[in-house]
Amino acid sequence: MIAENIQAVRERIRRAAERVGKKERDITLVCVTKTIGAPQIEEALAAGVTDIGESYVQAAEIKFKAIEFRAKWHLVGHLQTNKVKEAVRMFDFIHSVDSLKLAEEISKRSAGLLDPKKVLIEVKISEEATKYGVPPEQALPLIEKIAVLPNIKVLGLMTMAPFTENPEESRPYFERLRKLSLLILTKRVRNVDMRYLSMGMTQDFEVAIEEGANIIRVGHAIFGG
């Protein structure tokens, strides 16, 4: 069933990408596995998945022992500074940097790695109290401060739209993040590359792709539950 679900999601990605003149290969599918275990991840890998997303460092550790670097690991949930040491060891990509303090800790803990740790800046586009992220107007100043740190590289932005049954209601949030990314790009901040927009989940990833997403985070449509 997991393989069939992945195929169906990829077809949805293909159609959405074509609507905006892109190819399926232009979109990175991150399979979010926070509610499932290593056996299901193995099934996803066998079906061609290359990128796995986890929300919590502690939950990822158990699965990482089984999978290790046969997949690229993305931390898509909030990261506490006391978990950074473990996070930089496991995760190729951290999507949820939202403070200078967190970035400084990532920089510190990434010393000695072959490459700078790849991060995205999480932006709180919605006004929901439960959402993490830096306010849009503070994103550029934060990026300018992070850009001078060693061992870390900003590669784009991430956001979460409010949950809705109607995907079109997510569009304004995704559009706003895309415009913010373009604005930051015009500033030509050294050591910053606005190449990625991580936005869109099971209920709205097609709209996200139409608005410029090239990383989507999908769990329920693949693993159910």
CB atoms within 10 A of CB 55: 18
**How buried is residue 30: exposed, middle or buried, by Cβ count under 10 Å (0-12/13-18/19+)?**
buried
Tens-digit pLDDT string for the chain (225 aa):
999 999 999 999 999 999 999 999 999 999 999 889 999 999 999 999 999 999 999 999 999 999 999 999 999 999 999 999 999 999 999 999 999 999 999 999 999 999 999 999 999 999 887 889 999 999 999 999 999 999 999 999 999 999 989 999 999 999 999 999 999 999 999 999 999 999 999 999 999 999 999 999 999 999 986
On whether the CB atoms of residues 177 and 135 are closer than 8 A, the answer is no
On whether the CB atoms of residues 166 and 203 are closer than 8 A, the answer is no
**How buried is residue 152: exposed, middle or buried, by Cβ count under 10 Å (0-12/13-18/19+)?**
buried
Q: Which domains does the chain have, with CATH numbers?
A: 2-223 (3.20.20.10)
Nearest to 204 by CA among 143, 155, 162: 162
Nearest to 72 by CA among 110, 107, 41, 97: 41
Q: What is the pLDDT of residue 225?
A: 62
Instruction: Kindly state the tokens that stand for 101.
Output: 């303090």
Q: Go through the chain and tell me how many residues it has.
A: 225
Q: What is the pLDDT of residue 129?
A: 77
Q: What is the pLDDT of residue 140?
A: 98
Q: Is the dihedral of CA 217, 147, 132, 79 positive or negative?
A: positive
